[in-house]
Structures are given as C-alpha cells and as structure tokens.
Structure 1
Amino acid sequence: MHAERSPVLVGVGQVQANRDRTVAGAREPLRLIADAVHVAAADAGGTGTRLLRDVDAITVPHVASWSYADLPARLAERLAADPVHTFSAPVGGHWPAALVDAAAARIASGESRVELVAGGEASASLTVLQRAGVDPGTDLGWTTEPGGLAPIGPDDLGSPAMQAAGLVLPTRVYPMVDTAFGHSVGETPVETMVAGAAVFAALSEVAATNPIAWNPAARDSAEILRVGPDNRMICEPYPLAVNAFPLVDQAAALLLTSRAVALEHGVPEERLVHVWGGAGAADAADVLARPALTGSPALCSALDRALASAGLTADTVDLVDVYSCFPVVPRLAGRYLGLPVKALAGATGGHSSFGGPLSTYTLHSLAACAVRVRAGARTALVHANGGYLTRQHVVVLGREPHVDGYIGDPEPHDTAEPGPPSCPVAELAEEPVRVEAATVEYDRDGHPSQGFLVARTVDGRRLAGCTVEGDAASAQALTVFPEGPARPPGPAVVGREVTVRAVGDRIQVDPA
C-alpha cells in the first residue's frame, strides 16, 4: 500500500476534571468527551476544526457512568459532523485498541477519510452528586435519553457457572488467576505479592509524570504491600493499592486520517503518528470453561501476531504499554515477552495511579504513547484487555509509516479451547479436592468475609464455588494469611488438598 494511504493519528486529546470532587465541578460524560475532542482538534493544528466537520466515522467505547441512547449521534451533533458510520461498543477494556485498529483499516482501504474515536467517564462526579442528593438529569440538565447509570447485563458479569460460584467481579477473578499463575511458575505467595507490587510501583512513577493522572504520586513497593486502614486487603493477595480505581472523571479522543489527507490539511509531518496496525484474540468468555487459569492464550496470540506483522520483537519496541487493571495482566505479558518490570511501565500510569476509567482506559494509553512517539520513540506497542482476561487487542504505533503500509488484522481470532468437565456444587459429595485457584474477600473493616475456590475433584472435574459469607472456618482453610493480612503470607493454598462439602448452593471448606 502506498505510504500516502498510511493511517495516522493527527490529534490526541485528554481531559481530567473535578479532581476536587465538588458538585459545582461535575460535568456529564458527553461534555467531558466533547471537551477531549476539541483538545484533539487543537492538537491537530489550525485545520483541526475542519477535520472534525469532515469526520465520517465516530466510534466510542462503552460509557458506564451515564447512559445514552446514541452517544455517537449526540457527539456528532455537538461537533456539527455528519458521520456515515457510528458504533457504540459494549463493555470491554479491549475496545479502544480494537476501535482504533478498525478505524485505521477503514482509512487504509479508502472506506473512510477521517475518523474519531472518543470516550470517557464521570464516575467521581456521579458519586459526589449521589451523595449530595443531586439528580444529574433534573437538576443539572444531563442527557436523559435515557440517562442514569448504564445498565450492566448478566452476560457482562460472567457465565451462569461463574455467577453461581460468585466469580462475577474483576476484584475476585483476577487475584484468583494470579494465585494460579504464581503457583505455576514456582512462586510463593510472598513472591507473587512482591512481583505485583513492583509492577504497580513502576506504574506509579509513570503516573507521577502524567498531567492527566488521577493519583499522580510515586509509591514504592513497600508502601504498596503494607496492609492497613488506608490500604486494606480486598481479595487475597491484592490490597487496595493494586486494584483498579474507577472513581475518576477522565476522557480521551483520537483523531485519525490518512497521511495524504493530513498533509493536505496542513498537519506537519513531524506531528503524524502512524498506526501500523494490530491484532485481536478472544478466549472463552466463561473463565471456568478454560483449560487452565494460569494464563491467557488470547494475550499471547494478540502479542505474537501484532509483533510479527510489524516485523518487530518485544526487545526492539521502544515503548510497551500493557493494560494494568490488576498485577496479573502485566505479569503475564512481561513473562511472555521476556521483558523486565520497568520495560512494561509504558506511558500512562496504570489503573490504580493514573485512574481506571473502565472501558476507556486504553484511549489514554494510545494518546500518551502517541505523544511519546512524537517526542522521539520510533515504535510503541499498546495492549488492551477486556472481560476476565478474555478479549485482547494490541496496536503498534510508529514514527514513520510501515514499509508495507497498514499491516493490521483487526478481526479477533478465537483462541478458546475446551476445558475440563464441571462438577456442580449440587453434585458434590464430601470429598478432597486439589486447589487450582483461590481467594478470600475481606470486608471494609479488614475481616475475612467470603472464600472463593476453583479446584479439581479426584476424577478430574472442575469444581467452582464460594463459601457462605461470614464462614470464618472456611475462609481460614483458604487464606494465605493465617495471622491476618498485616502479617506476611504463609504457604500457598493452590496445589493443596482441601475437603469440600455442599451447603445448599455454597461450599464449606476444611483442610484435608
């Protein structure tokens, strides 16, 4: 493909708002997103406003903090644009990368000339308004078609089997995967926690230099590991400091076109960031239907294909920005790519320190990496993760056009493989099982509240279940903190045998 058709980022915009969390400072997501779009237009130079009017595609990641019947249409109305293609993505952190890759593919094929990808959240403001008894629609004039929190459907929570086992929250599933992964590579619980803290410490150093970061303070590993009232245990082995922080007001926008159109509009060559392309993949949506809980074949597939298409290896990429909602995601990527912690810190700052605006986070990563490419980085790899390590997408950016033009493969590959047969709790006899993954959730006062278990029965079936809330004995059987989370963890639970019995639709656990 001729270099003139090479898809490029010409405008990047980011907005952080209402960091003081006041009622007066609250802006609805639509306004935040529009503000980010105008920043992106200004970033494109003097013709940015004209480029906005010429936008023929607007796509947006899912917005959770407020509900819209047709957000792209609302945005187009504010921009005086008349796009022929619009799309509002469902829930998923992989979508920003997938949307940018798809936009680049359409531009490269000539299907579109100018595309806008934009999204944002106002979760911090919405929390403030709710506490103050202020109705955003009635009192502040926020959009009421339909308005209110965007609904989360049952499919967004997990499969029926996951829901029956209580594995319906990222805060429960990701630490369980980390326990399985850590055990598979020979780590003790201490080593798993130390490794995760090192990742998030490195991310916090990046966030400290990012003007859009919500919590821009560098933290060391010791601080991240220290459990106390300000850093309580959420689900073992993850204290609050390594959990995504979604209560933010942040928005981002990316303006894309071809190199030819950009130059025609007078955008300087040195401002162009080339979207070489990317790759996507998806594992089984049901975590309990996967062959193992120790990794992500989709993550490996997306990374492999994006790098291979670009003609790069991990150690030749100047900048690697990996999705970091919880430590296990960058840990998996780093081990697979053979990169040290510092090399994974990227340009954004992570969901804890930068902030976790839900499905929009990777728009900020792409914007931050584009700025770094303009500043001298030759290449950048941006990774995005959706679901429960379910859907992955990787995009490669370059300072120069790729020799082969756009080299992306935007349609996700199916990497799902059959897992073991299941053992429903209702069929459970009192029997020993071998733990595959486990976590204990804590209440806000720092006490163990409920245990969650994935294990194999003697005949090889997979059992998944949760204990009765408040069952201290079962929690003690699954915890790696027998002396409490303020003390160092003890031996791993994963790989150990425990005895399990059914209590209605819940389980009771004793050491075997």
Structure 2
Amino acid sequence: MRDEVRPVLVGVGQVRGNRERTVAGAREPLELMLDAVRSAAADAGVPGLLAQADSVATVYVASWAYDEPAARVAARIGARPTRLVDSPVGGQWPSRLVEDAAAAIAAGESRVALIASAEALASVGALRKAGVDPVDAGWSTDPGGPPPYRGTMGAPAMHASGLLPPTRVYPLFENALRHARGETPEQAAASAAELYAAFTAVAAGNDAAWNPQVRTAADIAAVGPGNRMICEPYPLAVNAMPHVDQAAAVIVTSLAAAREAGIAPERIVHIRGGAGADDAGDVVARPGFASSAALASVLDRALAGIDPAELDVVEVYSCFPVVPKLIAAHLGLPLTALAGVTGGHNAFGGPLSSYTLHSYVAVAQRLRAGARLALVHGNGGYLTYEHATVLARDPHPDGYTGDPVPRDTAGAAPPMAAVPDGADVTVETATVEYGRDGAPAQGFLIGRTADGARFAVATAPGDTASAHRLSLFPDGPGGAGREIVGRTVRVTAKDGHAVIEEPA
C-alpha cells in the first residue's frame, strides 16, 4: 500500500479540568476541547499540522450546547476542512470517527484529520450548586444552555416499562449472563470487583484520571453509605462516573503526510482497521440478554486473522461490568486481561459519549512505549452500537483493512405479550433499583408468559414488597444472594405497573 493512503495516528492529547469543582475553575467544554487539540498537536511535534486538517470531527457534547462544534474548532485552529462531522450521542462514536478518518485516508479522500471531544458536567454541577449561570461565568451563548438530545434512546416498550436509564438496562444483561454461566450473585460480583480494582490501579497512573485512587476488590464489592447499590447487582463503584471535566483529541494522517510534516517515526501508530455493528434499538425485542450479536460481530471482524492472545493491550468500554465480561468470554481471555491502559469508566471517569477517545490517547502512548498490538472498543446505547479498531506499531502488510460500515445484527424478536394480569410468569431477567436511603425502591421485570411470549413491566415506585420479590438479595446487599432468573412469580397489573407476588 502506498504511503499516501496508509492511515496513521500521529498526535494525541487529553486534559482534566476542575476536579476540585470550584466556580473559578469552571471552564466550558469547547475550551477544554481546544486545550486537548493543542496538546495533540504538541504531541505530534508539529503545531502547524492543525491548520492542514481537511477533516474535523467532534463527539457529541452533553454538558453544553454548541451549534456546529466541529466548525467552531476548525475556525479556532485556522483550518479550512472540506469535511465537518458532529456526532450524535453514543459511546461508539469516538471509535467510528477514528475509523471514518482512517477509511477516508485509505480512499485517498483525506490527508490530515482531527477528532476531538470534551465534557464539563462537574463544572456545570458546581456552577448550579453555587447558583451561578454558566453564561455569567463567560460560557458561550451560541446557543449555550443544555444541549438538545441528538440520538435514539428507547422504544415504546422500553418507555412503558421504565427501561430507559442505562443503570436499569445493563443489569438486565448482567443477571441473564450470570444465570447462563451458572454463577451465584456473589461470584459474579467478585469477578466484577476484581476487574474494577485493576482499573483503579491503571487510572492511578493516568494524569487525566478523575479518581486516581487505588482501591481493593473488597472495597469495590462492599455495599454501604459510600458505595450504595444503584440497580442490582451493581453498586456505585462499578457504574460509570459521568460528572467529570475531561477532553481528548487525536490527529490521524496519511503516512506520507506524517513524513512530510517531519513527525518522528517513533511517534507514529498504525491504524490497521476495525469494524462496526448495530443491534436492535428496542432492548425488549432482543432475542436474549446473555449475549450481544453486535459485540461478537465487531470483535470477529476487527480481529480477523489475529489471535486475541497476541494482543498486548485490550482496551474496552466499561460503563458497566457486563460489557467487558462479554468481551473477555468471546475472546477467551481472563477478565482482568481487559484492565487496559485508560482506567475504566468509574476510576478514570466516564465522560459520556467521549470516553473511548481517551482510550486512543492511552493506547497510542502504550504502543509508543513498546507494545506492538492493541484493540480499542467502543459501545453505545444498551449494547446496541459497537465499534472496535486495531492499532499497531507496525503496518499491516495489506495496509488499512477496516470494515467501517456498521452491519445490522438485529435478530428476530420473540413473540410479545401485553402485561399479564393475575398470571404466573417466568422471570427472564430482572433488576431492582435502590433509593438513596439504601432500600429497594422499584423492580423491573422482563418475563415470559406460559406460552413463551415476552413482556416488560416495572413495579410501582415505593412498592417495596414487589421489589423485594424480584431482589437478588432478600436480606439486603451484603447478605446471601439468590437466583431470581428462571423463578416463577405472579404478576397483577395495576395502574400501569405490576404487583409481584408469590405464585399461586
């Protein structure tokens, strides 16, 4: 492959801001993003490279509203790109944008591309707590304020059953997976805690990490006032931490452009290519909850011809433990082999759609330090949108081998049923959400009727008796766990919710 169409990553940068959450330290996302962009140019060793960008892309910013942020970034760096991209919501987008940049270079349509992201939810919260309007603190007003939602989130059945917050949905996959593996709640929690403890050790060495404190697996698994249960079986310490101020940027060029710019060979990381896949947007209509067809598709295609054991770095999305658990199982690797080099969504921080761009920063740094081969994975929606790429110190003999157009992996939905009234049903999967008082507050059930049809329903908020009947921990978190998947319960419809009782 000619150097003119061989994509490489040449500059990476990231910043952390206002960890102290002060009003004086509150800076808007665009300014953080520009700091990361300048850092990426400095990392490449060619600050003037930014003005040559013919493509500028930004990841969706959820903490402040901007009209055409990619165009704003281009104007600030003196670039006149022919391609501007502002992504919608989704944790897969950093990986897809890097892949799109690589594919455009491989097609001869681009030479220098910039991808950037930023969030400042910590500062937004600090200003709100102090009663300060961000505009009065100097934040931009075009348009400013809370951004409009740009993405797809949830289908009618999910809305009706309250299955919209990811904190409620991912535990449904976790509990189904645990049951399929024959694990007890304690075993599943212990493996998750071990991985997330490993994440904290990684984050402690990352200058941009939000929580650079090493924690033990026992600490992460222990549910208490500082680590309350969110939705079973996930305590706070294994949930993503979105209230952060973090920004990242990467510069992708052709190998020829990198050489013309005088970029040192040891700074160059090759983008071999990757793959994307989309599953059904309606979680309730998925064929099952113990696997992910989209995830399997991108891993198999991105790693075609590569033995997972050859990977020096496996950097995966970790908004909730079930994602790395599914990846480790599919790759045949021990779960702790997925600790990666960034630090995970809780310890490093989970800046909403942009976490994976930070992964590219950390992976590039590790490859420059001696690693040879790495996998970077991004996840969006509810195990809905997947993308993975392979980076390497050395080029692939065939150059860029990506398969960037996402494949539709949605399987056939099972027969669906209305919420039964006064019927005994089988629990396919379930979770219980806890209040800030540490007590069960609401249950969420996906069940099967006697004839095999699926339905989804929530118990009424405050119906602790019904929530308790769906709980993994009848004596409370910290007590002995029990199996709930596969159990029979009686469902009675009441005012749009369900009362859960013991079967007749």
- TM-score normalised according to structure 2 size: 0.98
Q: Which residue of 1 aligns with 2:106?
A: 108
| Structure 1 CA distance for aligned equivalents of residues 159 and 255 of structure 2 | 48
Aligned to 2:189: 193
- Would the aligned equivalents of 1:334 and 1:340 in 2 still touch at CA under 8 Å? yes
Does residue 141 (structure 1) correspond to residue 135 (structure 2)? The answer is no
- Take 1:472 and 1:11, find their aligned partners in 2: how far apart are those partners? 53
Contact 1:3 1:405 in 2 (8 A): no
Instruction: Please state whether the residue corresponding to 1:126 is helix, strand or coil.
Output: helix
In the other structure, the counterpart of 2:116 is 118
Pairing 1:423–2:417 present: yes
- Alignment deviations for residues 49-82 of structure 1 (CA, whole Å, 9 cap, x no partner): 2210010111111110001111011111111111
Please say if residues 233 and 442 of structure 1, whose CA atoms lie closer than 8 Å, have aligned partners that are also in contact.
yes
- What residue in structure 1 maps to residue 64 of structure 2? 66
> Does residue 23 of structure 1 match 2:23?
yes
Distance across 2 between alignment mates of 1:112 and 1:5: 9
Q: Which runs of 4+ in 1 moved over 4 A?
A: none
Partner SS for 2:362: helix
- Is the counterpart of residue 264 in structure 1 residue 264 in structure 2? no
Residue 281 of structure 2 corresponds to residue 285 of structure 1? yes
Rounded Cα–Cα distance in structure 1 between residues aligned with 2:3 and 2:366: 22
Contact 1:202 1:341 in 2 (8 A): no
User: Displacement, 1:3?
Assistant: 4.1
SS at match of 2:57: strand
Match of 1:240 among 236, 242, 255: 236
Residue 498 of structure 2, aligned match among 501, 504, 507: 507
Contact 1:12 1:253 in 2 (8 A): yes
Residue of structure 2 in register with 1:360 after alignment: 354
Q: Does 1:39 align with 2:68?
A: no
Checking the alignment, whether the CA contact within 8 Å between 1:157 and 1:169 is kept in structure 2 is no
The equivalent residue for 2:214 is: 218
Say if 2:461 is the partner of 1:465: no
Counterpart CA distance in 1 for 2:114 and 2:395 is 20
Question: Is 2:491 the counterpart of 1:478?
Answer: no
1:23–1:129: 8 Å Cα contact kept in structure 2? yes
Partner in structure 2 of residue 342 of structure 1 = 336
Corresponding residue of 2:129: 131
Report deviation, 1:156.
3.5
Corresponding residue SS for 1:136: coil
**1:454 is the counterpart of 2:446:** yes
2:415 pairs with 1:401: no
**Residue identity in the other structure for 2:37:** V
Distance of 2:200 and 2:302 partners within structure 1: 27
Distance 2:479 2:330 in 1: 28
Equivalent position amino acid for 1:376 in 2: G
> What CA distance in whole angstroms lies between the structure 2 residues aligned with 1:162 and 1:443?
21
Q: CA deviation at 1:429?
A: 2.5
Distance between the aligned counterparts of 1:146 and 1:159, measured in 2?
29
2:363 pairs, out of 364, 369, 372, with 369
Shift of 1:41: 0.5
Please say if 1:489 is aligned against 2:455. no
Distance, in Å, in 1 between the alignment partners of 2:480 and 2:148 is 38
Equivalent residue for 1:9?
Answer: 9
The SS at the match of 1:323 is coil
Partner of 1:84: 82
Query: 1:87-141 CA distances to partner (integer Å, 9 max, x unpaired)?
Result: 111110000000000100101111011000000100000000011111112x122
SS in 2 for 1:436: strand
RMSD: 1.0
Q: Is the 8 A contact 1:436 1:494 kept in 2?
A: yes
In structure 1, stretches of 5+ residues that fail to align are none
Q: Is the 8 A contact 1:190 1:488 kept in 2?
A: no
Amino acid of the residue matched to residue 250 of structure 1? Answer: Q
Matching residue's letter, 1:191: Q
Q: Which sections of structure 2, spanning at least 5 residues, go unmatched?
A: none
Partner residue in 1 for 2:434: 442
> Are the aligned partners of 1:61 and 1:89 in contact in 2 as well (CA < 8 Å)?
yes
Please list the CA deviations of residues 396-416 of structure 1 after superposition, one character each: whole Å capped at 9, or x if unmatched. Answer: 001011110000011001110
Cα distance in 1 for partners of 2:350, 2:98 equals 19
Deviations for 1:459-499, whole angstroms, at most 9, x for unmatched residues?
111110000001011011101111111x2332110111111
Identity %: 57
Q: 2: distance between equivalents of 1:407 and 1:489?
A: 49
